Structure 1
Amino acid sequence: MQKVTKALLDKKSSFLAKSIFVAYSLFLGIATLIPTSVLSSGKKSWLSNINFENGDKVVHAALFFIFSFCFYYSGWAKSKISLLLIPFILGILIECLQGLLGWGRTFDVWDILANCIGSLLAFWAIQFIFQSKHNRSTKF
């Protein structure tokens, strides 16, 4: 595990990591702000088979978990505060834009909470994986 962690840390802040973060950020913006009429084809998809109460909250948490992890790995998160604050602000901004744009999306405070939970889970995972006692000498 130590070798894998070290190999990952060696690639942190690389051009590839930054490119993945930028691409994912664009995907996140488009996926969360695109009008719902564009997303609906009228046909049932495989995703409709996975249906449970508040399933969209799990999707929100997963999207922001990935965003936070990519943000850290890109090297642009210069501190622990920025690793938490930037995703939180983005999650709130996206929900506000959904409410303001009127593209079939609505503001939902529970989505903001799900976004924050996903970011927090990523933060804790990063702390556990990359900042473990074996890697204390590594800068954030």
Structure 2
Amino acid sequence: MLLPVAMVYTVVLVIASVVNLNNVPSLGSSFDDKIYHFVAYLVLAFLWTTYFKPSHKRHTNTIVFVSVIAFGVVLELIQHQLNPNRTYDVYDLMANCLGVLFGTLIVHKFNIIKLK
């Protein structure tokens, strides 16, 4: 059941990354966009890491982590090519990476608690 959710979320994230988004609610800060990036990639990492059920094999966790980071980097780099109104922003990329890190750590923490 989690695989379709992760796949649909990934597709929605791709679409949201390349289209013009109008009327996005304001969070009242000067860096709303970075918060959105952080949360979007936290959820993405959470879904995929949970789907692959972090195992005792470190490689599985590392592959998922690196794959989600690479996905964010590629998407950030190509969004301008697909939509001239969108631009590459290193701070967006940093927010993506931090979201992936926190999403992965949350799953890891839940798994440690479940094992106790």
Superposition TM-score tier, normalisation by shorter sequence: 0.7 to 0.9
- Where does residue 72 of structure 1 map in the other structure? 49
Task: State the distance in 2 between where 1:119 and 1:111 align.
Answer: 12
CA contact (8 A) 2:50 2:107 kept: no
1:93 alignment partner, one of 70, 74, 80: 74
- Where does residue 115 of structure 1 map in the other structure? 96
Task: State the distance in 1 between where 2:40 and 2:62 align.
Answer: 20
User: Structure 2: which amino acid aligns with 1:21?
Assistant: A
Identical aligned residues as a percent: 21
Long gaps (5+) in structure 2: none
Cα RMSD, aligned residues only: 2.1
- Where does residue 15 of structure 2 map in the other structure? 30
User: Structure 2: which amino acid aligns with 1:96?
Assistant: L
State TM-score, norm by structure 2: 0.85
CA contact (8 A) 1:68 1:123 kept: yes
**C-alpha deviations, 1:93-115, integer Å up to 9, x for none?**
11101232343100001111000
Long gaps (5+) in structure 1: 1-15
State TM-score, norm by structure 1: 0.71
User: Structure 2: which amino acid aligns with 1:115?
Assistant: N
User: Structure 2: which amino acid aligns with 1:30?
Assistant: I
Q: Is it true that 1:47 corresponds to 2:25 in the alignment?
A: yes
Task: State the distance in 2 between where 1:24 and 1:32 align.
Answer: 12
Decide which structure has the larger Cα Rg and report it.
1
Task: State the distance in 2 between where 1:52 and 1:100 align.
Answer: 28
Task: State the distance in 1 between where 2:89 and 2:37 align.
Answer: 11
Q: Where does structure 1 differ by over 4 angstroms across 4 or more consecutive aligned residues?
A: none
Which one scores higher on RCO, CA 8 angstroms, separation ≥ 6? 2
Task: State the distance in 2 between where 1:107 and 1:97 align.
Answer: 8
